[in-house]
A and B are shown apart, each in its own frame.
Chain A
Amino acid sequence: MSRVLTICRRTAGLACSLYSTALAFGLFFAAGALSFAFSLEMAEGSQTPLAVAWTSAVAPVLPVLAALLAMDAWSEERRSGRIDALLTVAVRERVFTAGKFLGIYSLTMAATLGLLVSTLAMLYFFAPATLGNQHLVSFAPGLFALALQGALWCALSLAASAMCRHAAAAALASIALTVALPRGLWFALMEWAPQGRMAFGEMPLDAHAYDLASGVVSTSTVLSYVILACFALFCSSKATASLRLAGRGARALRASTALTIALAAALALSLLALVQRVSTTFELEFLVRGDNGFSARTRNILADSRGEISITAFLSRKDARFRPLVHFLRTLAGESEAVGGARLSVRYVDPRWDIGPAERLVRAGAREDSLIFERGRRRAILPLAGGFDERMCASALLRLATRAQRGVVYWTTGHGECQYTAYEPWGMSEIARNISHCGYRNMPVDFASASSIPDDCALVIIAGAKSDLSRAETARLDAYLRKGGRLLVLLAPAETAGLASMLSAWGIKTSNTPLAGARTLTGTDAIIGDFSEHPVAAPLEGSQIVLEKPLVLRPSAAADIAGADRVEYSELARAGEACVAAAAERGAGTGDDLALRPTRIIAVGDAAFVMNGQLKIRGNANRDFFLNAVAYLAGTDAITEAGTEAGRLVTGMDRAEKVRFVVASAIVLPGALFALLAAAAAAKRRRP
């Protein structure tokens, strides 16, 4: 072992004295940082964890570094003639191979660690928010993935170096072997069978890096890398030994060496087949768990949940969405355990391989590409066709973990309101579906025919009524509100539908005065990013909602009344100087010994902002704002945060900052590193 370490030290020491090593390090840092910046750009706003994005970005660059570091390992010994001095020492070829491998491998891993530190430092400098809830330990699985792949690349590059007389040829051969061949084969396969892209999933090398970085460790993957690396080292050792077999007399020995390598290849293939057969997958939850950035809403739903909930991912393991989904479900289960909620057991059913369980799921009504949440005999099926996110899963959990229905949301009809059942761009079916995901039932109510509001009413929504409510209707609504009712009014432009006087009695006054100083894109809309500290608006801080020609809202005289009937008026959102969304509450804080249900009203100066068409085309927080209002009015106070941005990778860098990040991390820092290492190599050469 001491000789292995001696050779390892010499290999690393020799590499450090070469300009080519300085160049390799500089190129690796530049390419790694550039790839990471690109990966950040692609993953912006997605659920991809930072550590996974980093690992996925560095993994494709690693074989090039290994090739550049290993190219001199044997070929330079041969070129200089030092090989004779090495081979006449009483040391076996495998000891030389092990020592040289360790030397190159340690340099490769040192460079990888350096790249991690430098990119994190750059992120800390340019986008500190990205690192806000990151634990360094979450990078450990990613480093493990790179260590595993790095071992294979170093072993293959060493074998190439042992077989080639010239360093450049060795580098080209190892790049061809480790980059061009696997990726070329993959792309050729995809070209040949494009319809199989979804079935095949990701490029296996990238998929392994992603899986391992996410903490999903498959024994077959790990052992496959170990077996292939050992085989490459064996070939390297045999190639070194065959340097003695130049003469004709060694023909038999050369043939026996070739036969040994062929037998070793057969053994390696058999072992690969065996480890694939007996593969086990386990998850390093303790490493990947941490502050995973779930929203307060999700955390509260998880904390409220009890018992055992089973989640089944019913999709192909080769599906591109499989890996992100695995990671998400794992962190969700970890979070539930952390907050003392239900025990979430996650399992994966591949429709093509797990025939029995798949058949059971299909009989239960589930379709391929869906998530199935089950608790006892209750089941919620979440189709994945349109993607998945935290809110959808939390809503499904909410439906299972709490009582079957949280209440009914009544939508008024008969006054030209937007229809919650209409799927057209001007309908509100999309937001109604979101409400239903939150556990509420949507029902229409016509005050003209109904004598009173039903008892199961959690909330009444008046979505852009265009004609006046009758006096009787207003009276029924007022009676409902006085009993602690909840009302969400979306006001159509320039129409107050006779609600003005009633709203005024509850503290909110509408006004047709034009908006002043509001930011706008089209001239008619208002971009609103100024939110108050109210529980409905506060979670939206940092995001924007867009309203079309919103009405201005002000507090009415009723808001000034003191005493038990006092209405507490709160602004929710402001466009310029004017308030466009407001909340009024009466009956809260009457006394600790009184459990009165307070009346709550929220008025928004626009009815179109959650129409289907708006939700589809606008990249804004309108949906969150609306659902926050619904949750505040109808649900428990604690679940008022929609927080769809939580848990997502958000750098917060604008274009100029991104350019600066790329310049600093992919040009300046690698350039400085190259200069430093080149100067160190030059200093070594200048020694007396």
Chain B
Amino acid sequence: MYEVRNIAFSYSNRKVLRDVSFVVSPGEVVAIAGENGAGKTTLLRILATLEFPEAGTVVYDGQDAFEKPLRYRRQLGYLGETPALYEDMSVREYLEYRAELKGETPKRIRRRLEEASQMCQISGELKLHIRNLSLGMKKRVALADALLLRPRILLLDDFLAGLDCAMRETARAIIANVASFSSVIATGHEIADLAAVATRFLVLSGGTIAAELPAAGSDAQALAQRVEAALKGSRG
């Protein structure tokens, strides 16, 4: 069980998040929607332990993530807004380096790399130089990196942004696949695409969770409409 408890965060005098709490069950895909500046990225950065919250905490398997960050990070996959990769490397070199860095043994690196590249559909691009990849392909490489060690929690920040229709379709398929072994928390503005894979939507507004919309009992289109309505409502 993954639990976010009463998270609050401010930059100097500006409150970004206040009392954000939710729970994510194993295998769940939670999508977080919100306007620009609503605090989606900050929330994910806190969940990735890249920022310390002003108040509140994240509990995973009964352990405080900020008290035992290394243990928590071993279960974590994080993909930021823009994929920042080493452009002087090939895809294979990059993933091997990242697997080594994450502490994977040399014997298992190859198997992990094959799994992740198949899952993200980049098996044919392993020899390519990262500098020459498109944005979508780079995002898939970054996702493969996040999935290398089969994390129990996957944080995706605006993963679908900038992708064309076909690529978004692929990305949705990948997320659905990942959900078989991982809890996914994804943010973004592509409500329809997220609705297709999300089991629950959280609408973030004014630094708090304005609405929580479970997908159960409604199809993706209906869910997307409910989310759009919630967003409009929060704006009003």
Q: Of A221-229, A247-255, A432-440, which stretch is located at the interface?
A: A247-255
Q: Of A29-37, A84-92, A130-138, A626-634, which stretch is located at the interface?
A: A84-92
- Is B173 close to A, CB under 8 A? no
Given A247-B54, A248-B54, A249-B53: A85 touches B80 (CB 8 Å cut-off): yes
Which one, B53, B54, B80, B97, contacts A10 given CB within 8 A?
A: B97
Given contact pairs A84-B84, A249-B9, A687-B90, enumerate 4 new A-B contacts (beta carbons under 8 Å): A3-B103, A88-B49, A89-B102, A247-B53
The answer to whether B50 and A87 touch across the interface, beta carbons within 8 angstroms, is yes
The answer to whether A250 and B52 touch across the interface, beta carbons within 8 angstroms, is yes
CB-defined contacts of B84 to chain A, threshold 8 Å: 80-82, 84-85
Residues of B in contact, count (CB < 8 Å) = 41
B52-80 vs A, Cβ < 8 Å mask (1 yes, 0 no):
11110000000000000011011010101
- Is A685 close to B, CB under 8 A? yes
A1-25 vs B, Cβ < 8 Å mask (1 yes, 0 no):
0110011001001100100000000
Of chain A, the residue at the smallest CB distance from B88 is A17
- Is A245 close to B, CB under 8 A? yes
Residues of B within 8 A of A (CB): 8-13, 45, 48-55, 70-71, 73-74, 76, 78, 80, 82, 84-86, 88-90, 97-98, 100-103, 128-129, 131-132, 142, 145
Which one, B11, B80, B82, contacts A247 given CB within 8 A?
A: B11
Report the Cα distance A245→B145, complex, angstroms: 25
A233-255 vs B, Cβ < 8 Å mask (1 yes, 0 no):
00000000000111111100100
The answer to whether B52 and A88 touch across the interface, beta carbons within 8 angstroms, is no
Which one, A13, A82, A246, A249, contacts B85 given CB within 8 A?
A: A82
The answer to whether B78 and A84 touch across the interface, beta carbons within 8 angstroms, is yes
Show 6 residue pairs from A and B whose CB-CB distance is below 8 angstroms, ordered by the A residue.
A13-B88, A81-B80, A81-B82, A81-B84, A89-B98, A90-B102
Which one, A14, A89, A248, contacts B10 given CB within 8 A?
A: A248
Of chain B, the residue at the smallest CB distance from A15 is B88
The answer to whether A90 and B73 touch across the interface, beta carbons within 8 angstroms, is yes
The answer to whether A248 and B12 touch across the interface, beta carbons within 8 angstroms, is yes
- Is A618 close to B, CB under 8 A? no
- Expressed in whole angstroms, the minimum distance between the Cβ of B40 and any Cβ of chain A is 15
Residue from B48, B52, B53, B82 having most chain A Cβ neighbours under 10 A: B52
CB-defined contacts of A523 to chain B, threshold 8 Å: none
The answer to whether A688 and B86 touch across the interface, beta carbons within 8 angstroms, is no
Report the Cα distance A85→B142, complex, angstroms: 9
The answer to whether B80 and A84 touch across the interface, beta carbons within 8 angstroms, is yes
Residues of A in contact, count (CB < 8 Å) = 32
Of chain B, the residue at the smallest CB distance from A6 is B100
Report the Cα distance A88→B128, complex, angstroms: 25
The answer to whether B131 and A14 touch across the interface, beta carbons within 8 angstroms, is no
CB-defined contacts of A81 to chain B, threshold 8 Å: 80, 82, 84
The answer to whether A245 and B52 touch across the interface, beta carbons within 8 angstroms, is yes
Which one, A7, A244, A246, contacts B101 given CB within 8 A?
A: A7
The answer to whether B103 and A249 touch across the interface, beta carbons within 8 angstroms, is no
CB-defined contacts of B80 to chain A, threshold 8 Å: 81, 84-85
Residues of A within 8 A of B (CB): 2-3, 6-7, 10, 13-14, 17, 80-82, 84-92, 244-250, 253, 684-685, 687-688
The 3 A-B residue pairs whose C-beta atoms are closest, nearest first, are: A249-B54, A81-B84, A17-B88
- Expressed in whole angstroms, the minimum distance between the Cβ of B109 and any Cβ of chain A is 11
Report the Cα distance A684→B86, complex, angstroms: 12
The answer to whether B52 and A249 touch across the interface, beta carbons within 8 angstroms, is yes
CB-defined contacts of B145 to chain A, threshold 8 Å: 85
CB-defined contacts of B12 to chain A, threshold 8 Å: 248
Given A85-B84, A90-B73, A90-B102: A244 touches B52 (CB 8 Å cut-off): yes
CB-defined contacts of A247 to chain B, threshold 8 Å: 9-11, 51-54
The answer to whether A249 and B55 touch across the interface, beta carbons within 8 angstroms, is yes
- Expressed in whole angstroms, the minimum distance between the Cβ of A245 and any Cβ of chain B is 6
The answer to whether A244 and B10 touch across the interface, beta carbons within 8 angstroms, is no
Which one, A85, A245, A687, contacts B78 given CB within 8 A?
A: A85
Which one, A7, A92, A685, contacts B70 given CB within 8 A?
A: A92
The answer to whether A244 and B90 touch across the interface, beta carbons within 8 angstroms, is no
Given A88-B76, A247-B11, A247-B52: A82 touches B101 (CB 8 Å cut-off): no
Report the Cα distance A13→B88, complex, angstroms: 9
The answer to whether B50 and A244 touch across the interface, beta carbons within 8 angstroms, is yes
- Expressed in whole angstroms, the minimum distance between the Cβ of B134 and any Cβ of chain A is 14
CB-defined contacts of B9 to chain A, threshold 8 Å: 247-249
Of chain B, the residue at the smallest CB distance from A88 is B78
Report the Cα distance A247→B103, complex, angstroms: 30
The answer to whether A82 and B86 touch across the interface, beta carbons within 8 angstroms, is yes
The answer to whether B102 and A249 touch across the interface, beta carbons within 8 angstroms, is no
Given A84-B48, A249-B9: A685 touches B131 (CB 8 Å cut-off): yes
Residue from A88, A92, A253 having most chain B Cβ neighbours under 10 A: A88
- Expressed in whole angstroms, the minimum distance between the Cβ of A86 and any Cβ of chain B is 8
Of chain B, the residue at the smallest CB distance from A688 is B129
Which one, B51, B73, B132, B142, contacts A89 given CB within 8 A?
A: B73
Report the Cα distance A87→B45, complex, angstroms: 11
Report the Cα distance A160→B49, complex, angstroms: 24
CB-defined contacts of B70 to chain A, threshold 8 Å: 90-92
Of chain A, the residue at the smallest CB distance from B90 is A687
- Expressed in whole angstroms, the minimum distance between the Cβ of B100 and any Cβ of chain A is 4
Report the Cα distance A81→B78, complex, angstroms: 13
CB-defined contacts of B88 to chain A, threshold 8 Å: 13-14, 17, 684-685
Of chain B, the residue at the smallest CB distance from A80 is B84
The answer to whether A90 and B103 touch across the interface, beta carbons within 8 angstroms, is yes
Report the Cα distance A247→B14, complex, angstroms: 10
Report the Cα distance A287→B176, complex, angstroms: 67
Report the Cα distance A253→B45, complex, angstroms: 17
CB-defined contacts of A7 to chain B, threshold 8 Å: 101
Which one, A10, A245, A249, A253, contacts B8 given CB within 8 A?
A: A249
The answer to whether B11 and A246 touch across the interface, beta carbons within 8 angstroms, is yes
Of chain B, the residue at the smallest CB distance from A249 is B54
Of chain A, the residue at the smallest CB distance from B89 is A13
- Expressed in whole angstroms, the minimum distance between the Cβ of B163 and any Cβ of chain A is 18
The answer to whether A3 and B100 touch across the interface, beta carbons within 8 angstroms, is yes
- Expressed in whole angstroms, the minimum distance between the Cβ of B84 and any Cβ of chain A is 4
The answer to whether B100 and A2 touch across the interface, beta carbons within 8 angstroms, is yes
CB-defined contacts of A92 to chain B, threshold 8 Å: 70
- Expressed in whole angstroms, the minimum distance between the Cβ of B16 and any Cβ of chain A is 8
The answer to whether A88 and B53 touch across the interface, beta carbons within 8 angstroms, is no
Report the Cα distance A2→B101, complex, angstroms: 8
- Expressed in whole angstroms, the minimum distance between the Cβ of B192 and any Cβ of chain A is 27
- Expressed in whole angstroms, the minimum distance between the Cβ of A681 and any Cβ of chain B is 9
The answer to whether A89 and B90 touch across the interface, beta carbons within 8 angstroms, is no
- Expressed in whole angstroms, the minimum distance between the Cβ of A93 and any Cβ of chain B is 11
Report the Cα distance A246→B41, complex, angstroms: 14
Report the Cα distance A247→B74, complex, angstroms: 24
Of chain A, the residue at the smallest CB distance from B102 is A89
Report the Cα distance A316→B121, complex, angstroms: 74
CB-defined contacts of A684 to chain B, threshold 8 Å: 88
CB-defined contacts of A245 to chain B, threshold 8 Å: 52
CB-defined contacts of A2 to chain B, threshold 8 Å: 100
Of chain B, the residue at the smallest CB distance from A684 is B88
Report the Cα distance A249→B57, complex, angstroms: 12
The answer to whether A6 and B101 touch across the interface, beta carbons within 8 angstroms, is yes
Report the Cα distance A688→B132, complex, angstroms: 7
Report the Cα distance A80→B85, complex, angstroms: 8
- Expressed in whole angstroms, the minimum distance between the Cβ of B133 and any Cβ of chain A is 11
CB-defined contacts of B55 to chain A, threshold 8 Å: 249
- Expressed in whole angstroms, the minimum distance between the Cβ of A241 and any Cβ of chain B is 11
Of chain B, the residue at the smallest CB distance from A87 is B50
The answer to whether B101 and A89 touch across the interface, beta carbons within 8 angstroms, is yes
- Expressed in whole angstroms, the minimum distance between the Cβ of B1 and any Cβ of chain A is 20
CB-defined contacts of B101 to chain A, threshold 8 Å: 3, 6-7, 86, 89, 91
Report the Cα distance A175→B42, complex, angstroms: 35
